[in-house]
Chains A and B, each alone.
Chain A
Amino acid sequence: MLRTFLLLSLAALGSAAARAQDPKPTVGVGTTFNYMFELHGQHAPFELTIASATDTLKLKWRIRNLAGGVYAVSPTAWQQGTALHVAQPLPGQPVRLPDNQTFMLLSKSAYATLLAQHHFEYNNTVYDLRDDTAAHPLLLGGQPLDVLHVVAQGDATELWILRNDKFPIICQMTHSPLGVNYVLTNLN
């Protein structure tokens, strides 16, 4: 009855929440985002690090300290991608994503559209901005994080996107119809 991902205590969330956090964190090469993933009822810690950000954006990932890999987001995708990569991460060799796909962040153009038009389209889904983060902030280390809350049309997906022109990282995903949800627990 070995489990690939064991059910984990949510205590890790509590310990991360105890630390104070800048609401507008500086993000760049070397920044690591720690998440708690919820995968079809199982919890697993997940780590995403910006390994390089020249033309190509390289994102290192690691899950439960067991397996890891690298996604390469092409300059085209980083600039104007239209879809999140939703396949299961494959450990080992770096995976170069197609020119329309990003991983756990929006393309710069989608983000710009969101700011300008208060909605954007990704993965064939339109997401509408909700002006409710003041009332219902996403907390990190007990402090509100400067994020944009969007809700999907058609599906129940909700995203909380870091307010950052260059790295609009998705800090939280809930009610994903694909069964993969996550929340940021630490950032450094």
Chain B
Amino acid sequence: MRFGKLLLLAAGLASRLLAAGQTSPDYTRYVDPLIGSQGLGRVFIGPTAPFGMVKPSPDCTSSPNSGWLPEPTPVTGFAQVHVSGTGGGPKYGNILLMPFSGPLALGDKSAHRQAEHVELGYYRAQLAKPAIKVEITASPKVSFYRLAYPQGQPKALQLDAGFFLGEQPEPDGREAQQFVGSEVEVVSPTEVRGYSRIRGGWNNGRAYTVYFAAVFDAPVAEFATWKGQQLQLGQKLQADSGEKTGALLRFQNSAGDTLKVKVGISFLSAARASENVRAEIPGWNFAQVLGQLRGRWNALLSRAELGADTPLTQQKLFYTGLYHTMLMPVDRTGENPLWNGTAPYYDDFYAIWDTYRTSNPLITLLAPQREVAIVNALLDIYKHDGYLPEARSGNANGRTQGGSNAEVLIADAYVKNLPGIDYRLGLEAMLKDATVPPGGNEEQEGRGGLLAYQRLGYVPYGVDRAGNRTLDYAYDDYCIAVVAKGLGQQPTYEQYHCQANNWQNLWRTDYRNHGATGFIMPRDAAGKWLDTIPFGNSVRQHPTFVYTPLTRENPWYVCHWCAYFYEATSWEYSLSVPHQVPVLIAKSGGPAAFRARLDTLFEKKYYNVANEPTFLTPNLYHWLGRPDLSSQRIRQIIAQSYNTTPTGLPGNDDSGAMSSWLAFQLMGLYPNAGQPYYLLNAPLVRQTTLHLEGGKDFRITARNLSATNCYVKSARLNGRPLRQAWLTHQALVQGGELVFEMTAQPGDWGTRVLPPVAE
């Protein structure tokens, strides 16, 4: 036992050294994958590579979106594919592996866990009965398990190709995954292959197939395979006949009590999955694979270096935030089952409505080539599937939540001069969204209510999510205008520049609520404002409800997806006009009224930290010349809603959205996605050095920062005074140093030169 512990320590040390390399500090130690794993956060807790295709994790029943739940829920098994931070119906949870030590018999093999331990790239738990130790690490496409069985006990393993998350008893349940087919085959004494084919789930997508090849470091001594409820001893193949299949394996006793298993996955074939195992993990050195995985992460995390004196809590929040941001979308280049080609292929955009504001801009800042690949993957999907994804999972577009927000990613890449993207194709794809109705597939892609939007300049009440669709489309149109102008497409620019004003068509100028004036409010196709709205479809009774800017009409009056604003109220969404904040201020009654409105929003808790439409809102004080108030709100939000515990994220992390918002704010930067600048806030950390792709560094220093010195007195960019509370992306990527002088009282920094007015 003692020797075993020493071995583990040595392996851990070796992996840390590998992660750290010769000179780079090890930032992986600051990542705590459990932050945000409980409560609303729902992050994935298992080991995975950056944007990794395989995501092994405990599955504790088939209910949780990430697979994992804490004790006392037992672990059902360990599936190879998961998503992170999601709401709605679960997706994936395929190819369930479960070690056991009994006879080869069908039945539930769930077990409680003891001493569960999670760190970046590594998972460990001791199953309570039988006492099997499970360790997991991974490469991009292969899960690597090390299973230590009790001495002298049979080493057995269950591979279940029929398991998946979110199974519902009723057929075709909305957002429920549905079983389509599966297959297993014992192809050799050391390899089992097969697949799981599932449809549906959160995005109601078409069927996807996860192929697998499980390879063992010891030969199988005895096996049985099953189909449905029939178990067949020694039957090598269970061919797909639309039933659930799996294999029970007992391994030969060997000198040690450990069994190692590599589970490669593929979306093309089981043979390809086997090839992925050979290509990525040819040997059996668990510590080496763990070290390589940590090395991959450290190479990314080290691009943002916090000062050495940064408190541990802030280091954990920051680096875990970066980590969460780079879990998805998933790089499946070379694994596209739908078409051939050399373009990058990414899946699990979950959803761009959630990620465009901060997740993608953070990837652009730290790993711009990755963002280029992501945008090119979107364009390739457009070329073959016909529409850019708003969301995509299991190789299928869907679900739209608001706008066609891939437009923002393309515009953001364009204004930040990301090379290697065919922006003319980008403009074509954006215009497809903006001009061609998706023909009944509005939940899947494109713009729902498009014809009415084109005719009226807004989406009328009665179309699902009409309020936020109008706001989102207006911003998407702004993004189209930006790219069109840059490409010299003047008529297109002029049209969409004009359409970017469309949000104003739903602005009810004289409407007052809790002291604020002007709101985005429901309006029918005839132009009439709707204060009371009928609900239901009774022929005998005709009830109505009163609509106010605080109304959430779902789920009582309408379905979750049918509300006027998706997951928000008018108080929140009326401020979601990232391209025309000065107009918004004027329409709200001027700076004083707008300041009061923002104060009311925060003080009366109408602000929802747990959802993305309000991400920019605390920064709106910048446009009033009061960046100190922005920073004050941001500090309050972080103090109240973020921490390093398992419930330390305020809402669904949504593919790193919540986490990337936090990471930006800790540095003192906040992007306005689709526009070429960052708003500057009082940093929460004393120093951040961004080691940019291309070799340049940009350092942000907050001198004299303390608990009381939390306001920016002055700033200098590369030694010259910077009086504005914003900085262009181009200035940042040229490298240099931004130094804030911090003070206890707000000064006049940032009060005169306001953030840029959008084109």
A78 to chain B minimum Cβ distance, whole angstroms, is: 21
Q: Is A42 in contact with B555, judged by CB distance below 8 angstroms?
A: yes
A interface residue count range (under 10 / 10 to 19 / 20 to 34 / 35 or more): 20 to 34
* B541 CB to nearest A CB, Å: 5
The smallest beta-carbon distance between B608 and chain A, in angstroms, is 8
Chain A at the B interface: SS class: loop
The answer to whether the Cβ of B558 comes within 8 Å of any Cβ in the partner chain is yes
B445 interface hit (Cβ, 8 Å)? no
Q: For the complex, give the distance between the alpha carbons of A155 and B557 in Å.
A: 17
- A89: nearest residue on chain B (CB-CB)? B556
- Which of B63, B535, B537, B654 is close to A1, meaning CB atoms less than 8 Å apart? B654
Most A-side CB within 10 Å, residue of B354, B535, B545, B560: B560
Partner of B87, one of A1, A10, A125, A178: A1
Q: How far is the CA of A42 from the CA of B536 in the complex (A)?
A: 16
Q: Is A117 an interface residue (CB 8 A)?
A: no
Q: Is the CB of A4 within 8 A of B559?
A: no
| B540 adjacent to A40 (CB under 8 Å) | no
CB pair A178–B354 under 8 Å, yes or no, is no
Are B88 and A1 in contact, CB atoms less than 8 angstroms apart?
yes
Task: Give the shortest distance, in Å, between B175 (CB) and chain A (any CB).
Answer: 7
A9 near B: Cβ within 8 Å? yes
Give the most central of B538, B539, B567: most A CB within 10 Å: B538
B543 touches A152 (CB 8 A): no
A115 at the interface (CB under 8 A from B): no
Closest to B552 in A: A4
Contact residues in A for B89 (Cβ distance below 8 Å): 7
Note all chain B residues with C-beta closer than 8 A to A44: 555
Partner of A4, one of B175, B554, B557, B654: B554
| Proximity bits, B538-575, A CB within 8 Å = 1, else 0 | 11110101000000111111111010000100000000
In the complex, chain A residues 47-91 whose Cβ is within 8 Å of any chain B Cβ: 86-89
What are 30 contact pairs spanning A and B, CB under 8 A? A1-B86, A1-B351, A1-B567, A1-B652, A2-B652, A3-B560, A4-B555, A9-B63, A39-B556, A40-B555, A40-B559, A40-B562, A41-B560, A44-B555, A86-B541, A87-B543, A87-B545, A87-B556, A88-B545, A88-B557, A123-B540, A154-B540, A177-B538, A177-B539, A178-B535, A178-B541, A179-B535, A179-B557, A179-B558, A179-B559
Q: A2-B40, A39-B555 are in contact. Are A125 and B560 (CB under 8 A)?
A: no
- Chain A hits for B538, CB < 8 A: 125, 154-155, 177-178
Which positions 597-637 of chain B face chain A at CB distance < 8 Å?
Answer: 610-611
CB of A174, distance to nearest CB on chain B (Å): 14
Is B77 an interface residue, CB under 8 A from the partner?
no
Given A88-B557, A178-B535, A179-B557, A2 and B651 contact (CB-CB distance below 8 Å): yes
Main secondary structure of the interface of B (DSSP, over half): loop
A19 to B545, CA, bound (A): 39
Which residue in B175, B541, B558, B567 is a CB contact (below 8 Å) of A40? B558
Contact with B along A4-40 (1 / 0, CB 8 A): 1101011000000000000000000000000000011
Please tell me if B174 contacts chain A, counting CB pairs below 8 Å.
yes
Q: State A65–B567 Cα separation when bound (angstroms).
A: 20
For B171, list chain A residues within 8 Å (CB): none
- Is A104 at the interface (CB under 8 A from chain B)? no
Closest A residue by C-beta to B556: A88
* Contacts beyond the supplied A1-B351, A177-B541: 5 A-B pairs with Cβ under 8 Å: A3-B88, A3-B560, A125-B538, A178-B543, A179-B558
A93 at the interface (CB under 8 A from B): no
CA distance A42 to B611 in the complex (A): 20
Contacts of A1 in B (CB 8 A): 86-88, 351, 354, 401, 567, 652, 654
Q: Note all chain B residues with C-beta closer than 8 A to A40.
A: 554-555, 558-560, 562
Residues of B within 8 A of A97 (CB): none
B559 touches A41 (CB 8 A): yes
Q: Mark A167-188, 1 if CB is under 8 A from B, else 0.
A: 0000000001111100000000
In the assembled complex, how far is the CB of residue A64 from the closest CB belonging to chain B, in whole angstroms? 11
Chain A contacts for B562, CB-based, 8 A = 40
Given A10-B169, A40-B562, A41-B560, the answer on whether A5 and B540 have CB atoms closer than 8 Å is no
B residues less than 8 Å from A9 (CB atoms): 63
Task: Note all chain A residues with C-beta closer than 8 A to B174.
Answer: 41
* Closest Cβ neighbor of B567 among chain A residues: A2
Instruction: Tally chain B residues at the interface, Cβ within 8 Å.
Output: 37
Distance, CA A154 to CA B87, complexed state (A): 38
Q: Are A125 and B540 neighbours in the complex by a CB distance under 8 Å?
A: yes
In the complex, residue of chain B having the shortest beta-carbon distance to the beta carbon of A40: B559
The contact of B555 among A2, A5, A86, by CB within 8 Å, is: A5
Complex: A123 Cα to B536 Cα, angstroms: 13
A2-B610, A40-B554, A40-B559 known; A179-B567 Cβ under 8 A: no
| Chain B residue nearest to A87 in the complex (CB) | B545
Residues of A within 8 A of B553 (CB): 88
List residues of chain B with CB within 8 A of the CB of A41. 174, 559-560
Please state if A86 and B543 are interface contacts (CB–CB under 8 Å): yes
- Please, which residues of chain A bring their CB within 8 A of the CB of B87? 1-3
Tell me the minimal C-beta distance from B610 to chain A in angstroms.
Answer: 5
Instruction: Give A177 to B537 CA distance when docked, in angstroms.
Output: 5
| A window 95-142: CB within 8 A of B | 123-125
Residue of A nearest to B63 (CB): A9
Nearest opposing residue in chain A for B40, CB measure: A2
Other-chain residue from A2, A4, A155, A180 in contact with B540 (beta carbon distance below 8 A):
A155
Q: Is the CB of B541 within 8 A of A124?
A: yes
A77 to B175, CA, bound (A): 41
Residues of A within 8 A of B567 (CB): 1-3
Mark each residue of chain B from 630 to 667: 1 if its CB lies under 8 Å from any CB of chain A, else 0: 00000000000000000000011010000000000000
Q: Which of B86, B169, B354, B535 has the most CB of A within 10 A?
A: B535
Q: Are A42 and B560 in contact (CB under 8 A)?
A: yes
User: Which parts of B72-89 form the interface with A (CB within 8 Å)?
Assistant: 86-89
Decide: B536 and A177 in contact? CB cutoff 8 A. yes
Contact A180–B541 (Cβ < 8 Å): no
A87 CB → nearest B CB, Å: 6
A2 touches B554 (CB 8 A): no
Chain A residues with Cβ below 8 Å from B88 are 1, 3
Closest 6 CB pairs of A and B: A1-B87, A88-B556, A178-B536, A40-B559, A177-B538, A39-B555
Which chain A residues lie closer than 8 Å to B545 at the CB level?
87-88
Q: A40-B558, A42-B555 are in contact. Are A7 and B175 (CB under 8 A)?
A: yes
- Complex interface: chain A residues within 8 A of B560 (CB): 3-5, 40-42
Cα of A42 to Cα of B555 in the assembled complex, Å: 7
A176 to B611 alpha-carbon distance, docked (Å): 31
Give chain B interface residues in 504-541, CB to chain A under 8 Å.
535-541
Give Cα A37–Cα B537 distance, bound, in whole angstroms. Answer: 19
Question: Which residue in chain A gives the minimum CB-CB distance to B62?
Answer: A9
Complex CA distance for A152 and B539, rounded to whole angstroms? 11
Chain B residues closer than 8 Å to A123, beta-carbon distance: 540-541
Taking a contact as CB atoms under 8 Å apart, the answer to whether B555 and A154 are in contact is no
CB-based nearest B residue for A153: B540
- Which residues of B are found within 8 Å of A155, using beta-carbon distances? 538-541
Least CB distance from A121 to B in Å reads: 10
Query: In the complex the two chains form, what is the Cα distance from A125 to B354 in whole Å?
Result: 44
Q: How far is the CB of B36 from chain A (nearest CB, A)?
A: 13
A3 to B563, CA, bound (A): 12
Q: Give the Cβ gap from A18 to chain B, nearest Cβ, in Å.
A: 17
The minimal Cβ–Cβ distance linking B403 to chain A, given in whole angstroms, is 15
Least Cβ–Cβ distance between A81 and chain B, in angstroms:
14
Bound Cα distance A180, B541 (Å): 14
Taking the closest CB of chain A, its distance from the CB of B711, in whole angstroms, is 32
Chain A residues whose CB sits within 8 angstroms of the CB of B558 once the complex forms: 40, 179
Q: Give the complex CA separation of A173 and B243 in angstroms.
A: 36
Mark A153-167 against chain B: 1 for CB-CB distance below 8 A, else 0: 111000000000000
